[in-house]
Structure 1
Amino acid sequence: MAVGKVTFTKAEREKLAELLCLLNWISVAAGAVLFGLGVFLKIEIQKWQEVMSDHGIVCVSYTLLATGLAACCINFLGGKICLDCADTNKFLRWKLVMMPYIICTFFFTCCVFLGALMCYSVHRQLEESLLQGLLQAMRYYKDTNIPGRCYLKKTVDLLQIQFQCCGNSGYRDWFQVQWISSRYLDMTNSAVMDRLRSHLEGKYLTDNVPFSCCSTFSPRPCIQHHLSNSSAHFNYDQRSQQLNLWRRGCRQTLLDHYTSILQFIGITVLLIWMFELLVLTGVRYLQTAMENVLRLGDPDSESDGWILENSLAETARSNFNIIKSLGKCYHVDDDPNINVPNVTTEHEMSSQTNQRLSDRPTMTS
């Protein structure tokens, strides 16, 4: 029994073909949207890729770029096919192309759905990438004279200013790394030397933070040095001065930023996937209805269209049998009767030879 069987008149088939032509052109625009979202995501990732340890999230943008280009090409062809399928004579030119086109479109819609799932599945990977990348960027913050790291200070400062954040999880993360270059330390100062000797690895660790951690909402000049010592500053209470520094860590801020982008892209891609699935279903109905018209031989008659000619179980069973029969074709060499002479055939050939010899005229002396 056919799945989703619908009967179409000639006028309904023509309207369906015209509607699918229009929907395919809309799908071309949807493909351009997918491509644009891929470009936008790639640009957003490149802005802060220096504070990411793993760029696996880039594969999401590449998937969107590929599916966007595929959508433009496939749906452009689909619009031409559906426009010609309104006429029975023109349909004959596309009859052999329809099924491969539908199969390609089906796999394309699966890729669109995969792209939507990827937008929601990279959250944990993105969080781990930001955690390790920010820690590494903070360690190399001071290396402004080393090639490959000289721009990290600028990147981290811009990140903290633009997103109003400080450190990885908070401003105290700067207390655990030496972010001041040794070039700017006075080695003749006994306090500096004592601090270097007090650390096992010889690092200069302080309770200071970079200037980019200063909050613009602070009513007083920013306090970024000796943050653990309340007595070092007049009228300063560490618990009450919440506006002095950005309290939120950059990892969570960046994670929220990318999560909001990916959620928006994921919802958009899901809507495009549902639209593409609708177009694919319509093209399948048009194909089967037009093929049934050709079987009937009357272009003006009604015809049935369906999604599957048989039930799901029967379709799966028939496809499995086809694959199984194709597999047997590769085992012809195992046939025990191969290269064995056919006795019946040889006997028939010898009989025919004798008959021809007997029919020859005999020579008289």
Structure 2
Amino acid sequence: MGVPEINLTEDKRCLMSKIASGVSLFTIPFNLFMLTIAIYIELAVQDKIGLIEGSRNALPGFMIMLSIFGLITNMLGTRVCWVVHDIKRRDDWKKYLMPFVITSLILFVCVFVTSVLCFTSVTSLRKLFSKGIITSMKKYSTDMPKKHIIDLLQIQYECCGSGGYTDWFNVKLVSKKYITDDYMTKEEQNIYRKHNDNVPFSCCKLRTRRPCINTRVHEKQFKYKYNKDLTLFTRGCGDALMTSYKQMLNAAGGIIIVLAFAELTIGLLTRLLQTSFENLNDDEDSTAYLLPFGGHAKPSEGNELDNEFQNLLEDDLPPPPTLESLQNLPPVSSLDDISVTESFDDVDPEDEEQFPAPPEENEFLPYDEDAFPPARQSFKYVNQM
């Protein structure tokens, strides 16, 4: 039959269908949460990753499609699992159980893979952020959209550089065409030409009580020591983004993995219901299983009856006749006292041609031993046996 074999009564089948319907209904809020978090990543954060890295992440789009598919499937599955507990409507709805089993298992695999991607993407995001931010920093003086994104990123997340503010010391902040008398004073020109320890204004702390020092950061100035009176953000933007992403993706992965095991539970319960209804006859009990192999096949009612009938026939049959019993048979006085059956299988075609034509009406033919074979070769004395 299958493994594992579980006997289910009508009450257990009704209870199992209600539980499957309830679990399917329970997954709808989790699908809504996955849809919400995917839209948030796509709209609020994905634009920054796209500008920094120059590419889009496929995970939010996959989560959106999977959550919509899960919502539709689980709403329909809730209806199917609830209706099949009603005997009157069961025959019309139980045919939808097998498609729902397959869909639930596919959802389990996809949702489980999504949860794993949420956890594993946390470890790979740090390198992507570091590389993308440094690449954008090198275009800070020539690419205005990149400059705007970097300044907005540092102000919004209160960070500076990729790993810290010292990352800006090797980056030119101002283009050469602006280091002229038309745009800067002689002192400012010397600062941006001769000194490398400069950072953008967006690295300045917003809550500091003194003027922000973002040029010649590591030089001694009036009542200023950079190791004590630093007015810049010390945290790198890569770490700041990782903190935000890590919390969000870990929470999403934890909730999505609960959704995955809920989908697996729905698939197993629905499979037991589907096999139980397939094996249901007129009796109230039926056998349910998950895998259609490995079990011990149970004989059906028809096979049991055939086996009992065969045993009765074997018990009532007489033993086969022996040669001595046939030789000791009494002589036949008349053909009316015995019942004979002719064996056509044992007669040769040559012997059939030796039989005379049947006698006409009211004609008597004497018994000829040469015309007929012996009785033991062509007749069976049934009554005497």
| Secondary structure at the counterpart of residue 225 of structure 1 | coil
| Secondary structure at the counterpart of residue 279 of structure 2 | helix
The reply to whether residue 265 of structure 1 matches residue 236 of structure 2 is: no
Q: CA RMSD in A?
A: 2.7
The reply to whether residue 210 of structure 1 matches residue 200 of structure 2 is: yes
| Bigger mean CA deviation after superposition, 125-134 or 172-181 | 125-134
Aligned partner (choices 296, 299, 307) of residue 290 of structure 2: 307
Letter paired with 1:181: S
Q: Is residue 165–residue 248 contact of structure 1 (8 Å, CA) maintained in 2?
A: yes
Q: Is residue 28–residue 73 contact of structure 1 (8 Å, CA) maintained in 2?
A: no
The reply to whether residue 297 of structure 1 matches residue 285 of structure 2 is: no
| Secondary structure at the counterpart of residue 287 of structure 2 | strand
Shift of 1:115: 0.3
Deviations 1:117-167 (A, max 9, x none): 111222343223212221122122233xxxxx4332232122112212111
Cross-structure match for 1:44: 44
Aligned partner (choices 239, 247, 271) of residue 252 of structure 1: 239
The reply to whether residue 104 of structure 1 matches residue 103 of structure 2 is: yes
Letter paired with 2:103: C
Structure 2 unpaired stretches of 5+: 296-385
Q: Mapping of 1:177-196 within 5 angstroms?
A: 177-186=171-180
C-alpha distance 140-54 of structure 1, shift in aligned 2 (>3 A): closer
Aligned mates of 1:179, 1:273 — CA distance in 2? 49
Shift of 1:205: 6.1
Letter paired with 1:75: N
Q: Is residue 50–residue 133 contact of structure 1 (8 Å, CA) maintained in 2?
A: no
Q: Is residue 17–residue 81 contact of structure 2 (8 Å, CA) maintained in 1?
A: yes
Letter paired with 1:104: T
Cross-structure match for 2:156: 162
Aligned mates of 2:145, 2:21 — CA distance in 1? 52
Q: TM-score, normalised by structure 1?
A: 0.72
Q: Mapping of 1:222-261 within 5 angstroms?
A: 222-230=212-220, 233-242=221-230, 244-261=231-248
Letter paired with 2:225: D
The reply to whether residue 71 of structure 1 matches residue 70 of structure 2 is: yes
Structure 1 unpaired stretches of 5+: 144-148, 197-202, 313-365
Deviations 1:307-338 (A, max 9, x none): 223349xxxxxxxxxxxxxxxxxxxxxxxxxx
| Secondary structure at the counterpart of residue 7 of structure 2 | strand
Name the % identity: 25
Cross-structure match for 2:269: 282
Q: Is residue 104–residue 266 contact of structure 2 (8 Å, CA) maintained in 1?
A: no
Q: How many residue pairs end up in the alignment?
A: 293
The reply to whether residue 24 of structure 1 matches residue 18 of structure 2 is: no
- Between Structure 1 and Structure 2, the one with more helix by share is 1
| Bigger mean CA deviation after superposition, 284-293 or 265-274 | 284-293
Letter paired with 1:136: T
